[in-house]
């Protein structure tokens, strides 16, 4: 799956909150990537900015997109990818 396809998938994924993903949605999204490096994916989410609504932690779309790239490409987050 190319970068345009991943971006499209992430930003057009039906989420409960328009701001981003809750954990069950992330879990469901990850089923599309059975060979993803989960350590790289999770490491890319360390230190991100997120929000809480209705007692749910919400991860922004841009952070999920970057974490997917890291997990798929088996790499760490690059300095210019930090927001």
Predicted model pTM = 0.92
Q: Which residues contact 2 (CB under 8 A, 6 or more apart)?
A: none
Q: What is the pLDDT of residues 2-59, one digit of tens each?
A: 778 999 999 999 999 999 999 999 999 999 999 999 999 999 999 999 999 999 999 9
d(CA 44, CA 39): 9
Q: Around Cβ 33, how many Cβ atoms within 10 Å?
A: 16
pLDDT at 79: 83
């Amino acid at each position: 799956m190319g970068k345009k396809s991943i971006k499209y998938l992430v930003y057009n994924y039906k989420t409960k909150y328009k701001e981003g993903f809750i954990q069950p949605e992330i879990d469901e999204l990850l089923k599309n990537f059975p060979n993803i490096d989960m350590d790289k994916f999770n490491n890319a989410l360390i230190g991100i900015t997120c929000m809480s609504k209705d007692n749910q932690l919400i991860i922004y779309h841009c952070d999920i997109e970057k974490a997917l790239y890291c997990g798929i490409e088996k790499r760490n987050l690059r300095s210019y990818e930090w927001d």
